[in-house]
Structure 1
Amino acid sequence: MTLNKPPAAQERVPSRRRSALLAGCAASVVMLTVAGCSGGSATGTTVKDGFAQAAQKDGALTVWVDATRLDAAKLYQKLHPDVKMDIVTYDGDANGSNYLQTKVQLFNRTGKGWPDVVFSSQNNEATWAVDAGFAAPLNKGLISSMTLAEFAKGANDVCTVNGTVYCLRNDLSQAVLWYNAPLLKKFGYTVPTTWEEYQQLGEKVAKEHPGYLVGDAGDSFTPEIYLWASKCGANHITGPKSVSVNTTSENCTKMAKLMDVLIKDKAMSVSGVFSTDFGKNEADKVLLMPGPAWYGSALFQGTFKTPAKQIAAAPIPQWKGDPSPTTGNVGGGTWLLSQHSAHIKAATDFLKWVTTDKAYQGSKAPGFPAYAPAADTWLNAQSTAGYFSGDLSALKDASSQVWPGWGSGQFSQEAIWAATVKPGLTQGKSIVSMLPAWQDAITKYAESDGYKVSK
């Protein structure tokens, strides 16, 4: 068994995601190329491209998308008028709804109803979709090795089971340091490059410009920004059904202490960036904000309505003396092709187009494309659009720096943090004091999904 890991709202405005999925032999994924099991094949089929394919026939290509990806499906239909399509919108499994898994279980029982291609805002669908016999292998003939090689480093690790790729990553959500460039200059500050400098600047801001913020700790995906970037071993998937959980290591505690200091100084909010309170009282007070790639357009431009030429991106800080730059990841999404599809050629053409074609990923996609050539086009489009201050090269650099020690298991880290740590923050408890309770909660959630937990 070989292992790898994942980099994970929908430009999510916090999709954030991953609730309990199908137990059993389902392969857990981290940057993980795991050993998994397949779900069997139907009778009367032809084995080709690594799986038993249903009899192929004419008819409409059924594509399931969330509201954000609806434009992608419509654009494909416009550019390919000869392709018959049945476009269905659903929640995209946002917030770990498990809608797709539940429907696939139903379709497996009735023997009909599977979509040909489906988008999910989750990065852990391979943990159940392979075992359920739903996700088709893609690197056995459907998608060329040349195409797969051009995805960002590690992008499709969350889709890889025992060396076989079962989905394609739509977008990346690597974390960078967003900042208000003219405001930073006005205050006479420089962009911090280390976490030590970041904390010092936050403390300075609290004294010299009270009310202004250098971050936020109020969202359920907070650990994926700060603790993941700090190489905190809270969520290291080590096998198909095994996970290592250690929330009290030095890498965890030093980041928790940093956050506690800034929260106490009120330089870091605990409201949550998508809360009404934050939008009303704090959105215009953001000086710095570590966060995922989609923060640029979805949060600052879309939600906060921050004027153009203010928001810029820099590399996320690193601990002083750490030789290997790392960051966290908040979201992303994946596309799966059904083994039951009776329109394999059309489904494959759509899948490849929607993940790699510059007409969508390079020009129209709201998030940073996982496919590297499209990402270059996307970055150029963002730069010429005139909203951001400076270039967004930090996003490209961060796309290959997501730390591989944080996994995409069946249990939802966001749900665990929201239930265990966030309530304590609102009550004034320190994050450091809650690290043991966080570990206990992760252990219980993982064990309930059949994981063997080591510490």
Structure 2
Amino acid sequence: MFTNRPHSKGPRSRALAAALSAVTAVSVLAGCAGGSSGGGDGGGNADATLTVWTDDTRQPAVEAYVRAHPQARVKVVLTSYKAGEVAQKIALADRAGKGWPDVVFLGSPSDVSALAAAPLRFAQPLDELVPEQTRRQFAKGTLEGCTYEGKLFCLANDTAPVVLWTNETLMKQFGYSVPTTWAEYRELGVRLGKEHPGYVIGGINDVSGYGAFFGGSGCPDRETTGPTDIRIDLADPRCTRVAELLQPLVENGTVTASSPWDPTFTEEVGKKNTILMYPAAGWFGEYGFKGSYKIPDGQLAAHPVPAWTGDSTATTGAMGGGLWVVSRHSRNVKGAADIATWLTTSDAPEGIVAASALPAHTPTAQKWCAARAADRFYAADPCPAMLDAAGRIAENYDYIRFEGQFADSYAQTFVATASRKGDLAGALPVWQKQLVQAAENAGYKVSR
């Protein structure tokens, strides 16, 4: 993030420490293989072919690296990025004694905890492979979750703080003002439901919901408090106020339980331009409104998220923020580290500056922002709100080892209740029970 959080050791770092201090569930898969063996010749074979696991969003950047380095031998492999799946695939490679990637993209940042921890110990420390000057160029806070006991285990691809996206054309047409508090947000939603039914001001499905609303509220649903300790307390006022905020908006349909990526939502809401506002990550402007919904130019703007009544400052949540990890099994760890460095820092036209998310590397982010400021798609430069939000992510929105189970339990309880317009406050105890079970299964001691 571009401004540091007011604590000496950030939550991402605390969460990584927790994972590195405990045996995770992937040990069952890893078995005795354990990931203890290194590359065949100590990682110094400059002629070795390097395998990069990536998703389709990052694929163009990887291919741009290949074109920029014709002498490099690189094999690009598309792979799944659901939380926990990369660790499972690495564990299977450990059992086989082969098949590890040299570089891997983590679309679920929490997975770095398992990759750096025993029994996998997959992640290669990068301190001697990435120059200190380069490391210092990353925005403050973005490498916190990559660092444990002074060692750097990954490079941050991007940062994904939540902002309040608004359709300025619709706001002006309806005569509404951008809410600065969540109370105003709720009042606007109630008013919108009566005056312009069919329009929406947000969604609670997947990370769009728990990242934007619960995460931004500081709800202790994933607050790591020690190496193997976590606090989960959905009865905390910072959690219950989210349910109270959303209840009337879910009931009148201005906050939807549909996924923003559901084809029906895309066609019936997104492309019909009936989203008045939407709390979501910075990348949602490029990937959602511009890429998927294709709303007209000059309508979309980014604003700071509203503040909660009684809070001295507004805090926000996050929706992603990818990481690149280098394998300690690589036969050419220097070459692999060079790929990860280029992918996160290059200003090549088809590199990260062309991606939908705000780069974590500060000089590259400045060029990314310059392109957004000149983009006619936006009603105003969205970067000031994004950069401000990057320093406001709630301190207890931590990396956890059960990210996939967290999302599943949220969908099965809170989202399911919202889908039938049920009692959201009543869903919290049910979600609490499932979260506690998932955390205990992942090796945490849970407190409230």
TM-score calculated relative to the size of structure 1: 0.86
- Aligned residue for 1:25? 23
Opposite residue 289 of structure 1, the aligned amino acid is Y
Quick one: distance in 1 between partners of 2:12 and 2:379? Answer: 30
Structure 1 residues 406 and 160, CA, compared in 2 at 3 Å: closer, same or farther?
A: same
Conserved? CA contact 1:3–1:239, under 8 Å: no
Quick one: distance in 2 between partners of 1:257 and 1:323? Answer: 20
Tell me the SS of whatever aligns to 1:421: helix
Quick one: distance in 2 between partners of 1:219 and 1:128? Answer: 22
Structure 1 residues 289 and 44, CA, compared in 2 at 3 Å: closer, same or farther?
A: closer
Tell me the SS of whatever aligns to 2:224: strand
- Aligned residue for 1:437? 430
- Aligned residue for 2:123? 135
Tell me the SS of whatever aligns to 2:197: coil
Matched, 1:230 2:228: no
- Aligned residue for 1:372? 362
Quick one: distance in 1 between partners of 2:218 and 2:374? Answer: 35
User: Identical aligned pairs, as a percentage?
Assistant: 34
Tell me the SS of whatever aligns to 1:285: coil
Moved more, 170-179 or 357-366: 357-366
CA RMSD between the two structures: 2.5
Quick one: distance in 2 between partners of 1:41 and 1:269? Answer: 47
Quick one: distance in 2 between partners of 1:243 and 1:217? Answer: 24
Quick one: distance in 2 between partners of 1:286 and 1:263? Answer: 15
- Aligned residue for 2:4? none
Structure 1 residues 44 and 76, CA, compared in 2 at 3 Å: closer, same or farther?
A: closer
Quick one: distance in 2 between partners of 1:267 and 1:42? Answer: 54
Matched, 1:295 2:284: yes
Conserved? CA contact 2:180–2:307, under 8 Å: yes
Could you tell me how far 1:40 is from its partner in structure 2?
A: 7.5
Moved more, 246-255 or 199-208: 199-208
Cα deviation code 1:197-227 (max 9, x no counterpart): 2112212222222222211223454111111
Opposite residue 119 of structure 1, the aligned amino acid is F
Quick one: distance in 2 between partners of 1:181 and 1:372? Answer: 29
Opposite residue 221 of structure 2, the aligned amino acid is A
- Aligned residue for 1:114? 100
Structure 2 counterpart of 1:173, from 152, 160, 176: 160
- Aligned residue for 2:416? 423
Matches within 5 A, 1:214-229: 214-219=201-206, 221-229=208-216
Matched, 1:199 2:199: no
- Aligned residue for 1:16? none
- Aligned residue for 1:10? none
Quick one: distance in 2 between partners of 1:309 and 1:426? Answer: 33
Structure 1 counterpart of 2:138, from 151, 155, 164: 151
Moved more, 409-418 or 270-279: 270-279
Q: How many residues align?
A: 421
Could you tell me how far 1:66 is from its partner in structure 2?
A: 1.3
Quick one: distance in 1 between partners of 2:39 and 2:370? Answer: 49
Tell me the SS of whatever aligns to 1:282: helix
Unpaired segments of 5 or more residues in structure 1?
Answer: 8-20, 28-38, 47-52
Could you tell me how far 1:321 is from its partner in structure 2?
A: 4.4
- Aligned residue for 2:254? 267
Matched, 1:409 2:400: yes
Could you tell me how far 1:26 is from its partner in structure 2?
A: 5.2
Tell me the SS of whatever aligns to 1:179: strand
Conserved? CA contact 1:235–1:405, under 8 Å: yes
Conserved? CA contact 1:3–1:238, under 8 Å: no
Matched, 1:339 2:328: yes
Opposite residue 104 of structure 2, the aligned amino acid is V
Opposite residue 4 of structure 1, the aligned amino acid is G
Structure 2 counterpart of 1:5, from 11, 19, 36: 11
Conserved? CA contact 2:84–2:111, under 8 Å: no
Structure 1 residues 71 and 44, CA, compared in 2 at 3 Å: closer, same or farther?
A: closer
Tell me the SS of whatever aligns to 2:77: strand
Quick one: distance in 1 between partners of 2:433 and 2:443? Answer: 15
Quick one: distance in 1 between partners of 2:304 and 2:261? Answer: 23
Opposite residue 125 of structure 1, the aligned amino acid is D
Opposite residue 99 of structure 2, the aligned amino acid is G
Tell me the SS of whatever aligns to 2:422: coil
Could you tell me how far 1:45 is from its partner in structure 2?
A: 8.5
Quick one: distance in 2 between partners of 1:279 and 1:175? Answer: 20
Conserved? CA contact 2:35–2:122, under 8 Å: no
Quick one: distance in 2 between partners of 1:348 and 1:249? Answer: 43
Matched, 1:286 2:284: no
Tell me the SS of whatever aligns to 1:385: coil
Tell me the SS of whatever aligns to 2:51: strand
Structure 1 residues 373 and 320, CA, compared in 2 at 3 Å: closer, same or farther?
A: farther
Structure 1 counterpart of 2:58, from 57, 64, 69: 69
Structure 1 residues 272 and 57, CA, compared in 2 at 3 Å: closer, same or farther?
A: closer
Quick one: distance in 1 between partners of 2:20 and 2:89? Answer: 12
Opposite residue 402 of structure 1, the aligned amino acid is I
Cα deviation code 1:148-168 (max 9, x no counterpart): 232223222222223322111
Cα deviation code 1:212-255 (max 9, x no counterpart): 22112234541111111111111102233221001111111112
Conserved? CA contact 1:220–1:418, under 8 Å: no
Tell me the SS of whatever aligns to 1:335: strand
Structure 1 residues 126 and 280, CA, compared in 2 at 3 Å: closer, same or farther?
A: closer
- Aligned residue for 2:197? 210
Conserved? CA contact 1:26–1:126, under 8 Å: no
**Hey, which of these two has a bigger chunk of helix by percent?**
2
- Aligned residue for 2:236? 249
